[in-house]
Structure 1
Amino acid sequence: MSLRDTVTRHRADRRSDHPDGFDRRLIVPMVLGSILNPVNSSMIAVGLIPIGIALGAPPSETAWLVSALYLATAVGQPVVGRLIDLYGPRRLFLIGSALVGLGGVLGLLAPSVGVLVVARVLIGLGTCAGYPSAMYLIRSEAERTGRQSPAGILTVLAVSAQTVSVIGPTVGGFLIGLAGWRAIFAVNVPLAAVCLTLGAIRLPKHRPEDPSDAPRARLVSSIDLAGIALFVATLVSLLLFLLRPQASDWWLLVITAAAAVGFVLRERRAATPFVDLAVLTGNVPLLLTYARSLLGACVSYALLYGYTQWLEEGRGLSASTAGLVLLPIFAGAIAVSTLTGRNPRIRNKLLVGSVTQALVAAALLLLGPHTAVWALLALALFAGIPQGLVNLANQNAVYFQADPERIGSSAGLLRTFFYLGAISASVASGRFFAGGADSAGLHDLAWFMLVAAGLFVVITVVDRSLARVVPRDRS
């Protein structure tokens, strides 16, 4: 089922209620579905040390609580996004919400780190549907209303995700202080319940009796199962190596290379490929946006995980206090996103965001175990600037650069590259903090962030296509 078919199916019955503008009944489930991943990504940052203490697990084991979610999400996002392109968002949204709730229950009852990792995988897979569903619905509403650039809705989506990402450690610290570390898993149960309820009530229903529907056999045959399997094999083997890179695991790279070659050959021959490589490789601006997403995530998640651990161990703050110190990032990000959200100049946002990321990384080199709290708060406020610019700009860029009929999978691939950056940041934090999250390790991490931010700046400066990504109509 193509995006155009879905728009045609729902155009008549929804136009009478929403003749001119975006169907605002969709906004709440869209936002809630999209924040499930960032809330779980960020809250765990202040939970790693309490979990390790409670379960007697070293940092090398608790690190898998971060990596497992990103591994599941990086693989699952484009797969679920492609299924949304074919079937529409409702079924995938409901299935994903149910998985998140199941992962929350499992985490609440988990007796060991291994079971917690399984819970995080379930949560990661469940959160894969939220963002591609939202982008699909935004595109379908734009088609229905005839307005190409729903900048206000895109801003709401980006700001909500950014807000949750930033306040997640604060909320996580509060929940841990109130009810222990299991609370950061238990919170998924009510969130999933709300998503299931709103998704069932408000998201467009698939109607098999509609004559415009393709036969089920045709829809099933349009799913490139072989391509998906080879994509998953490529990404999983690569990520497993990156999570613990060592010479003895060379065979993982052999699997990566073999699966990647098979994937390329398969996608070039498939009638309906999972990833249309001909279109993707010919879309250089979209590829550059994916690269910027990876590099930006390297910096922002190195700050989220590495800096947070240093605040607790290197600076000696409690989990709840560390969360409060990070809170100004929330204020800065919200202010910047609100002020710039409707500005269509994506290139300017990326330039300012990338340069500011570099300055934040440089500032980390000046921190030590006795740095004043006011300085930590000032740094957090300054770090809110790129937090409020980068993700919003990349999201808007994909919206206008991607093939409309593949908006779900294109949005999923954006998140895949984003989580590759997050995983890289997690690996870097583990390496630099191998002996503890002290100031020397923080400074090494800061140099890693500077390199990533510098590459981000260079890619943005040379990409002249960004100047042409300007919407003609905004809602």
Structure 2
Amino acid sequence: MSDRTAEAAKTGFDRGLIPPMLLGSILNPVNSTIMAVALVPIGAALGAPPSQTAWLVSALYLATALGQPIVGRLIDIFGPRKLFLISTSLVGVAGVIGTAAPGLGVLIAARVLLGFGTCAGYPAAMALLRSEAERTGEDNPAGVLTALAVANQTIAVIGPLLGGLLIGLGGWRATFALNVPLAAAAVVLGLLRLPRARETSTRERWTARLDLPGMGLFAVMLVALLWFLMNLRLSSWYLLVLAVAAGAAFAVRELRAAIPFIDLRVLGGNAPLLATYGRALVAYIVSYAFLYGFTQWTEEGFGLSPFYAGLVQIPMFLVAIVISITTGRRRGVRGKLLVGALAQIAACVLMLVLTGESPLWMLLLIAVVFGIPQGAVSLALQNSVYHQADPERTGSSAGLLRTFAYVGSMVASATTAVAFGPHASTAGMHTLAWVMLAAGVLFLLITVADRSLRHV
């Protein structure tokens, strides 16, 4: 046992793990929030309407939704170190490709690679929390979970403003170049701080535990479903049929596999965890529709520059940080979810009365109200999964939470593209607000009906 590990055993959670955990977990949100203010400049530079630049959002979330549970499962088997180092290296490669991209197609490819590169951060952090809880015998990581949530909210505050500054200084390509130093720092921290996995299994046993057929069918199902969501037209019916067929085959495979990729028998018997995944899906429809759709409208429909559009987002994330800090150590999640649901509904109603002539303070008020669910809901979902998931599948369960969240983001992106079409108009923003309101009401109903939350 090293001196650092011995000291950690005496004092509890090894705080040397926190820097790589935090940096790895923010790689995805920093790219999400920066892109929110970069879509309009990229579209103007490349002559692409919102319906096409929406793929820059969808590509990242398609890759991340697919990769999170797969990488999470690999982390469960191999440990977080190897997967963290490989994934964060891909972030740097994606940054180089995006910076030099000659057109929209290459940019979308860079965002796909970026999505896969950011897959390891969150499941690795959750797996490290679980292993530290087992090592120390202290299964109450509320402080570290809150730190993760606050870090994500903080980078979300900085992201839009940083995106506006980068665009002003070096154009939209600078938003991709930022990933190179971030990835380098993450790799260095991972090499220095993350523990090496113990070699306890043979290569053959590892291969058996990977369930490659299950992963392949899961990939086909998810890609077909999300591609259908991005092409909501009758001619795309075959994608939905393919998704259903692959889903059925996936279910048969997982129910028969000795060591399944996603244990549907255990998952099917865990109704509280399934409800948490459902809440994540509808919550992120609202969250990402606001982040991307509302931001595009503030630029094109309201007339703000990318820099000032980023500033309008800041009150939301500041409120979210305050909410996360003040409620993070409270054990209950039901109250947080209910307050978040009501705030979502209130903010969507306010969006419906906005026009291009509304005063600026109304935009800021909506951002403040949206900050309440941004801080309360994400933290509550994170805590729910930690306590509801099978401890041996913490990484894959955490990854699956993000998959449902990113499916919600894809629905939001598809809805934004349909609502806006060639221009982010006020009428399109109102259409988007109605969809967000419906999702917010559904989130409230799922939460009210879930009695298991009283015991989390």
Q: Same fold (TM over 0.5)?
A: yes
Contact 2:95 2:177 in 1 (8 A): yes
Residue 164 of structure 1 deviates from its aligned partner by 2.0
Secondary structure of 1:274's aligned partner: coil
Residue 216 of structure 1 deviates from its aligned partner by 2.0
Residue 178 of structure 1 deviates from its aligned partner by 1.4
1:49 aligns with 2:40: yes
Q: Give the aligned partner of residue 335 of structure 2.
A: 348
Instruction: Summarize the Cα distance change of 1:171–1:29 in structure 2 as closer, same or farther, 3 Å threshold.
Output: same
Residue 378 of structure 1 deviates from its aligned partner by 2.1
Q: Matches of residues 372-383 of structure 1 in structure 2 within 5 Å? A: 372-383=359-370
2:443 is matched with which residue: 450, 456, 471? 456
1:158 aligns with 2:149: yes
Q: Matches of residues 180-199 of structure 1 in structure 2 within 5 Å? A: 180-199=171-190
Q: Matches of residues 224-239 of structure 1 in structure 2 within 5 Å? A: 224-239=211-226
Q: Give the aligned partner of residue 306 of structure 2.
A: 319
User: Residues 289-314 of structure 1, C-alpha deviation per residue, up to 9 Å, x if partnerless?
Assistant: 00110111010111101110110011
Quote the Cα distance in structure 1 between the aligned partners of 2:51 and 2:436. 21
1:335 is matched with which residue: 322, 341, 366? 322
Which residues of structure 2 form unaligned runs of 5+?
none
Contact 1:295 1:455 in 2 (8 A): yes
Q: Give the aligned partner of residue 35 of structure 1.
A: 26
Residue 241 of structure 1 deviates from its aligned partner by 0.6
Q: Give the aligned partner of residue 473 of structure 1.
A: none
Contact 2:49 2:422 in 1 (8 A): no
1:279 aligns with 2:266: yes
Q: Give the aligned partner of residue 427 of structure 2.
A: 440
Q: Give the aligned partner of residue 372 of structure 2.
A: 385
Q: What residue identity is the alignment partner of 1:167? A: I
Residue 12 of structure 1 deviates from its aligned partner by 10
Q: Give the aligned partner of residue 244 of structure 2.
A: 257
Q: Which moved more, 1:293-302 or 1:167-176?
A: 167-176
Determine what percentage of the aligned residue pairs are the same residue: 59
Residue 362 of structure 1 deviates from its aligned partner by 0.5
Q: Give the aligned partner of residue 5 of structure 1.
A: none
Quote the Cα distance in structure 2 between the aligned partners of 1:254 and 1:420. 18
Residue 170 of structure 1 deviates from its aligned partner by 1.8
Quote the Cα distance in structure 2 between the aligned partners of 1:293 and 1:262. 25
Q: Give the aligned partner of residue 240 of structure 1.
A: 227
Secondary structure of 1:148's aligned partner: coil
Q: Give the aligned partner of residue 427 of structure 1.
A: 414
Secondary structure of 1:456's aligned partner: helix
Q: Matches of residues 145-224 of structure 1 in structure 2 within 5 Å? A: 145-208=136-199, 213-224=200-211
Contact 1:105 1:186 in 2 (8 A): yes
2:52 is matched with which residue: 46, 61, 71? 61
Paired positions, count:
456
Quote the Cα distance in structure 2 between the aligned partners of 1:339 and 1:135. 22
Q: Give the aligned partner of residue 112 of structure 2.
A: 121
Residue 172 of structure 1 deviates from its aligned partner by 0.8
Residue 58 of structure 1 deviates from its aligned partner by 2.5
If the length of structure 1 is used for normalisation, what is the TM-score?
Answer: 0.94
1:303 is matched with which residue: 285, 290, 300? 290
Secondary structure of 1:222's aligned partner: helix
Q: Which moved more, 1:321-330 or 1:121-130?
A: 321-330
Secondary structure of 1:57's aligned partner: coil
1:78 aligns with 2:60: no
Quote the Cα distance in structure 2 between the aligned partners of 1:121 and 1:445. 25
Residue 381 of structure 1 deviates from its aligned partner by 1.7
Which residues of structure 1 form unaligned runs of 5+?
1-9, 470-475
Quote the Cα distance in structure 2 between the aligned partners of 1:411 and 1:235. 17
If the length of structure 2 is used for normalisation, what is the TM-score?
Answer: 0.98
Kindly report structure 1 stretches of 4+ aligned residues shifted beyond 6 Å.
10-13
Contact 2:49 2:423 in 1 (8 A): no
Quote the Cα distance in structure 2 between the aligned partners of 1:295 and 1:356. 14
Contact 1:170 1:323 in 2 (8 A): yes
Residue 52 of structure 1 deviates from its aligned partner by 1.2
1:136 aligns with 2:127: yes
Quote the Cα distance in structure 1 between the aligned partners of 2:84 and 2:220. 24
Q: Give the aligned partner of residue 3 of structure 1.
A: none
Q: Which moved more, 1:26-35 or 1:434-443?
A: 434-443
Contact 1:11 1:144 in 2 (8 A): no
RMSD across aligned C-alpha pairs, in angstroms? 1.3
Q: What residue identity is the alignment partner of 1:146? A: G
Secondary structure of 2:120's aligned partner: helix
Secondary structure of 2:210's aligned partner: coil
Q: What residue identity is the alignment partner of 2:81? A: R
Q: Give the aligned partner of residue 108 of structure 1.
A: 99
Contact 2:51 2:418 in 1 (8 A): no
Q: Which moved more, 1:432-441 or 1:236-245?
A: 432-441
2:383 is matched with which residue: 375, 378, 396? 396
Quote the Cα distance in structure 2 between the aligned partners of 1:74 and 1:11. 37
